[in-house]
Structure 1
Amino acid sequence: MNDLEIYVREQDPARLQSWLDQSLDRLELAPIGHAGVHKGKGYYRDFPVRVSLYPGAFSKHFTSVVLEGDELPWRTDLDCARHAWRFLDVEVRCSPGDWQEGDPVQDEKWWRLDHRGEQKVSWN
């Protein structure tokens, strides 16, 4: 099972669903509970893809978007972030993929995609 996770600044679930509708087939998302979390399922090349949206991530300004499945529309978090940035035109962040559990947090860098371009930055 593959998984992708990106963080999208200040987006409502309806706008995120519009973006995901462009990349997945038969997407169905529904709110779960009262925290604004949305979960559901779509398909990519007839393979099921679990989709989760978690608002309020990282200082409450980002929504975590998690896609899980055997086949996904993008190979890496950065590929996914690039596609989201082009569609949504808001800041998107993702892990560069080289951080390992146990590495010092102060050394952790993230990809930030926004109107300034793509840069590796500290989260704060």
Structure 2
Amino acid sequence: MRDLEIYIRDLDLLAVRQWLGSHLDQLDLPGEELVQGVRPIRARAAYNGCDIRATIYPQAGGKRYASLIIEGAELPWDSDLECGRSAWQALATEIRCSPGDWKEGEPVEDERWWRIDQRGEQLAVWN
């Protein structure tokens, strides 16, 4: 199973639903009312005949960023960055994602993230 993770600034669940729905064959994502808290929002989906899980964690990267994790054997994007670019095009809000070289357990002092926004794409320290 593969997984992709991006961070979305100022989550708009309706816009995320429309974006994901345009790339997946099927999407069952709960309503906007669930974003009021910080509880995870779980969605079921399908792509190329494979089941996909998508989970949104509001306020995962501070109060302004929500984490979106998409897991499945087949996914519409090959990397976090490719997914982030697609999200930026559809959502027009800052997207952050891992450059792909960090591994669980490694120090994060100089950890860099892709930041995609109106200024373009650049590697930046989160804070």
Give TM-score scaled by structure 2 length.
0.90
In 2, Cα distance between the equivalents of 1:35 and 1:9? Answer: 14
Q: Confirm or deny that 1:107 pairs with 2:104.
A: no
Residues 15-94 of structure 1: matches in 2 within 5 Å? 15-30=15-30, 31=34, 34-94=37-97
**Letter paired with 1:112:** R
Identity of aligned residues (%): 47
Q: CA RMSD in A?
A: 1.7
**Offset from partner CA, 1:70-113 (integer Å, 9 cap, x none):** 00000000000000001111100000011123433111000000
- The aligned counterpart of 2:13 is 13
Q: Which has the higher strand share?
A: 1
Mapped contact 1:10–1:62 kept (Cα < 8 A): yes
Paired residues in the alignment total 124
Return the offset for 1:36: 4.6
- In 1, the alpha carbon distance for the partners of 2:6 and 2:110 equals 19
C-alpha distance in structure 1 between counterparts of 2:105 and 2:39, whole Å: 31
Structure 1: which 4+ aligned runs deviate by more than 4 Å? none
Gaps of 5+ in 2: none
* CA deviation profile, 1:36-92 (whole Å, cap 9, x unmatched): 531121111111110111110111111111100000000000000000001111100
